[in-house]
Structures are given as C-alpha cells and as structure tokens.
Chains A and B, each alone.
With several copies, the nearest count.
Chain A
Amino acid sequence: MRYWVDFDGEGFEVTIVEENGTQKIILNGEAKEVELFKIDSNGTYVAYVDGAPLIFHAEISGNGEVKVSLPDVTHQMNIVKSVGRSGERRRVVDAGPAKIKSPMSGLIVDVMVEPGASVEKGTPLIVLEAMKMRNEIKAPRPGIVKELKVNKGQTVETGTVLLTIE
C-alpha cells in the first residue's frame, strides 16, 4: 500500500509491503524492515526500523491528520492513500488568507490591531500571556487584517484562530 505523507507542503511517499511475514517500509527508495508495538493504550508506540527502536506518540484524527511526537521533536502530517504515479503527488499549497493561530493555551492580554489595519511582516498583533510570560504574536507577512476573532481578556486554546491577514 502506498501513502502520501505531507508535512505542510513538503512530503514523502511511503510504501508498506508484507514479505514473508515481515513488514517493510519503503521511503525514498530505501526499504527497511519494520515492526510496530503499542506501549500503552494512550497512543505510545515503539517501532523497530531495521532493529533500531523508535519510541513515539501518535494522535490520529479523522481525515488522515496525524501528530507524531518523537522523544525530541513533534511533527504534524497528513496521510492519504497515494493513487497517482509514484512520487508525482504534491499537495497544492494554500495561497489564501493567512490564519494566525494561537501557539499555546493562554490569555489574550492585548489586541494591538483592528480589522482593516495594514500590517508589515513583524508588526505586533496580539499579546498572549501564559505562565507569567507575555508573548507578542507578530504578523508573519505583510497584509490587511481581515477577521479579528478574539478579544482582550479572552482565553484561547492552542490552535485557536486569532485573526486572519489577507
């Protein structure tokens, strides 16, 4: 079975084959023997890739959204069955408005722009507080503030859309 694993635009084709009772995974032309085990029922796994243990945590949402935490790094990816010719499939990068999401749970202590405001890359947009730290969220690119979705004093979760820039 072939899968396309997409990391926000950049991706790999991953093929899983069964051979004589062992599972192999092929990535970039390299085939490796793999075994997968659950460590607990909370999403912790160990995969042995050519005998090397890879402990990880996976959160699998619908639609192929998978969040994988290796012990030292976390990656968000989209997994779909690959149907095109090998290596051909590419995700179309979204060129629409930039959604500014909250990078963590916290409290909006200041909103520094209004809808319609013109911002440069780096313009401070919002001040978020958590754990006694105040963090300025800055514009990732120039544009016009379109929708403002939060207010001062409001609590937000990780990933909440704060505003959009067009």
Chain B
Amino acid sequence: MIQRLLVANRGEIAIRIGRTARDMGIEYIAIYSDADRNALHVLLSDRAYRVGPPESEKSYLNMDRIIQIAKDAGAEAIHPGYGFLSENAEFAERVIEAGLIFVGPPPEAMRLMGDKLQARKLAQKVGVPTVPGSREGISSVEEGIEVARKIGFPVLLKAAMGGGGKGMRVVRSEEEFTSAFKLAQAEALGAFGDSTIYIEKFIENPRHVEMQIIADRYGNVVYLGERECSIQRRHQKIIEESPSPVMTPKKRKEMGEAAVELIRAAGYYNAGTVEFLVDKDLNFYFLEVNARLQVEHPVTEVRLGMDLVKEQLRVAVGEKLGFSQKDIQPRGWAIEARIYAEDPANNFFPSPGLIKFLREPQGPYIRVDSGVYQGYEVPIYYDPMLSKLIAWGETRQEALARLKRALNEYIVFGIKTAIDFHKRIIEDERFRRGEIHTGFLNEFTYTSLERKKEAAIAGTLAYTRKSAAISVDKGECQPESRWKTLGRELALKGGIDEILG
C-alpha cells in the first residue's frame, strides 16, 4: 500500500477520504485555497499545502499545481473526491504521466463516460435502454429549439461534461428556451470548463435510481445495491436512500447486471455509479455513469459494513476485489440528508457566513460526515454543503425515525439551512409511503413562516434580557458564573455533612 495520499478536494469529502487514509496507515495530504486556510479538511490533515487563490479555476481545478504539490509532498497517489477534477480524464492522464496513482477509473473509461453522449451510445450498443434525446452537443439556440421541437417539450438541457445538477435546466416551452440555454451554457463553462449542452426528453415524474458498482483491473465487477435519489432540488439530490422503496429483488438483479455489463464494456474499474431513470412501471433507462465516488456513497456503505474509499484505494494500487457478488448481503435500510448552507424559503439560495453555534447529531445508527466547525466561516466560493447526515435502521420506518431524531437535534446558528425543510419532507405522507419522483419537491409547498409564536417568545425574552442587562447590568447566567450562582461552597458543605454523617 502507499504511504501518502493527496486529496485534491475540500470540505466533507476530503475529510472523509482522509479518514480512510488514516485508518489504513496512510498520511492524508490536504490542499487549500486561500479561502480555506483553516477549513476543517486542513485542520484534520497530516500536512496541508496552499494550492491557490479562492476561485476554483485557480485552486482546486489547477492541475499543474496539484500534481506539483503531490510530488513535493512525496504523495504516491491522488484521490480527486467528487466534483472539481474528479471526472476530468485529462487530469487523470496527467497524474498517471507524472508517475502517480490516480484513485479512480482509467482515463479512457472516464473520457467515454464523461461524455454523456458517447456513454449513451455505448449503453444502446450493449442493450441498456436509454432516454430519447440529441445524439450530439447542441451548438446554437436555433439548433436547440429545432431538436427540442422534434423530441417534444418539455425537454431537459444537460451539460455534456456535467454532474451535480449544474448546467441542467428543464425547458417547458419554446419561449423559455433561449434564456435557459444561455444560463446552462454559462454554468457548464464555469463549472466544467466546457459549455457543451445536449438535450433529452424530459420524462415526467420519474424516479432516479442508481446502481453502485466496484470493479478491479482484472475484470471483476460487483454491484453493491441501488440508491433511490429522487428527492432533488435544483436537480441536485438532497435525500438519498438504499434500498429504493419500489425495488424488487428481480428488478435489482436486472438493473445490477445491466450496470455490470455497461461497466465491463467500458473497460471501467474502481468505484462508479450507473444512474437510471425509472418510470411508473419500473422500466429503467440509462442516464449516465458517474465515474467517481458519489456524495451519497455512505448509504451503501452502512448497509454493507464496507468502506468504499478503502476499496477504491485497494483497486487503485492493483489489488483484486476481496469479495464477489454472492458476498454482498446488505442489512437494513439507510437514508442520507444533505445539509447545505441555504435558505429553503428563498429558492435554496446559498447562505454562507460564520457558524456561531454548532452541535451536530450523534448517537445510535447516526453517521455525520461534516466539513465545518463552530467558529468556521462558510465561504462563498464553493458548493455550500455543510454535512451529510446518514441514518440506518432495520426497516425504512426505523431509519426515517432516526433521521428525524437526528434532524431534531441538529443545531447550527449563524447561517440558514434546510434542516426544517428536510423534516417536512420525511414527515410527508406520500414520502413515507415511498411515493416519490424527481419532481417531488416542485409539488412540495414549503414556507418557513411557521413557529412564529415560539420565535416571538424567544425574541421577546432575549430582547428584554438584553435591555435589562444594559440598564442595570444585573448579570446573566453564563457558564463562567454558574459556579457562583449555585452557591457552590454552601452546597458542598451541605453535601459533606450528609456523606460524613
């Protein structure tokens, strides 16, 4: 095994990868932009190197600099995490050319899968059904409108090099097309350095179900069960679970085997995810391959007792998989909620800022992968995810009950989050019955204008306390002064008389 691993990422995923590295006795080398000088992924590293200014283009997307740091630090391998350079085949190639190990799929497979259009073609070739759409990237608004007319509105604009919902737009009519197309192009360029957009038929109310796979260099491919990720806002998953509430063992086997076939045909190894849309009749359509570790990988891990990053590292250094398909025996149900700094009452606008108080959930069957701490300022430059909250239970009901408990004890002040919004979702009757689809949240009315009475009580108390403190400085019950207010000496003496009789 290697001695040092550079994690070319930030936030919770850099920490999560660093944890596995340490578990394996590997040093975790972090990189940071100037905006991340004292981010948690730096504080928890073995050694950290500056990669550049705050903008991603100059820091976490700066291939030359990252490879140079790996060499300077004596790291033998680079793990790209998700986002940033994780699906960039050129980066993978350059890492390999520099004599380092890229912890991910081979560049050729990445290139194939990274180009959504080529991936579609391969899927069609091996007999995996796909959604109707444009075969090539769309170069102009006019061409786009023509293709969209042919497919029929509504259509979905997608970044060819994209992922994570960025550069993605639903267009329901011709009038909306021009503006949506330009925004999608600009977002795609900013996020992936490539503005190519393609168009797909927009299937109404599908489920998003994906199959996790792991493969070694020797042709062994194993599917690790599906995740249902239909709860999305702005085309970004926010609640993911495994198994899917509608999946049958037969369908799971079909989908798993389709995924394995595609992965084999692509010459792909390491961890990866094959995403499908599932319609009301449980027909599934290939969507794309995420040629990397995914945000939601923990829901698979906690059911299997597996560490996917450990498996990635093993495959990356050339080991064979230590298990085969029949060894995969998932236990119970797992569900994840992504906690972002955002305002659900205001179209999920990001809400960066200083975290003034933080107490994250803990306890039985709760896993929190967090990237922040009390006193940390969430920067404006990056994806505003704070943490992932993963709950496990024997049944879906038990997993949901635990997730709700964890959401109820999640306290973060200073920035807005969608914690309340998550609670409402998992209390929703249709959600509880598993009747979900990717448009679920569009139909979900949410207002944060609840609990005004509690807020009024809290506000009035704090206001009058502060006014009183200003006028008479009468002192408040702070931790530092509790000691005294409790009449410690006297109480202790009372206590001892009793003890000593």
Contact = CB atoms under 8 A, between A and B. Distances in A.
Interface string A101-131: 0011111010000000000000010010111
A53 B466 contact: no
A109 B501 CA distance: 12
Nearest to B37: A37
A46 B478 CA distance: 11
Contacts of B374: 40
B328 interface: no
B191 interface: yes
Contacts, number: 210
A163 B449 CA distance: 25
A132 B356 contact: no
A132 B190 CA distance: 7
B464 interface: yes
Contact of B458 (A16, A42, A68): A68
B451 A70 contact: yes
Contacts of A28: 453
A39 to B, nearest CB: 6
A14 interface: yes
A46 B456 contact: no
B494 to A, nearest CB: 11
Contacts of A25: 457, 460-461
Contact of B452 (A10, A51, A57): A10
A14 B414 contact: no
Contact of B461 (A47, A71, A155): A47
B322 interface: no
B375 interface: yes
Given A55-B43, A57-B357, A134-B187, A75 B459 contact: yes
A153 interface: yes
A60 B466 contact: yes
B48 A51 contact: yes
A161 to B, nearest CB: 16
B457 A49 contact: yes
Interface stretch (B90-98, B132-140, B342-350, B434-442): B342-350
B49 interface: yes
A155 B496 CA distance: 10
A133 interface: yes
Given A73-B420, A74-B448, A155-B489, A44 B382 contact: no
B456 A77 contact: yes
Contacts of A155: 488-489, 492-493
A68 B380 contact: no
Interface size range of chain B in the complex: 35 or more
Nearest to A133: B350
A163 B166 CA distance: 28
A55 B461 CA distance: 12
B304 interface: no
A58 B459 contact: yes
- Which of B350, B351, B384 is the most central at the interface, judged by chain A CB atoms within 10 Å of its CB? B350
B43 A45 contact: no
Interface string A1-35: 10101010010101010000000010110001010
A54 B489 contact: no
B454 A70 contact: yes
B62 interface: no
Contacts of B496: 107, 109, 129, 153
A60 B468 CA distance: 13
A10 B449 CA distance: 11
A39 B357 contact: yes
Contacts of B126: none
B366 to A, nearest CB: 16
A46 B38 contact: yes
12 contacts: A37-B476, A38-B476, A43-B413, A52-B46, A53-B47, A54-B457, A57-B357, A57-B414, A71-B411, A72-B419, A74-B416, A129-B499
Top 5 A-B residue pairs of the complex, sorted by shortest distance between their CB atoms: A72-B420, A57-B413, A58-B462, A75-B455, A5-B456
Interface of A: 1, 3, 5, 7, 10, 12, 14, 16, 25, 27-28, 32, 34, 36-58, 60, 64, 66, 68-75, 77, 79, 103-107, 109, 124, 127, 129-136, 153, 155, 158
Given A14-B457, A60-B466, 17 more contacts: A7-B455, A12-B452, A25-B457, A36-B465, A50-B47, A56-B462, A71-B408, A71-B412, A75-B451, A77-B456, A103-B347, A105-B352, A106-B350, A107-B495, A130-B380, A131-B384, A155-B492
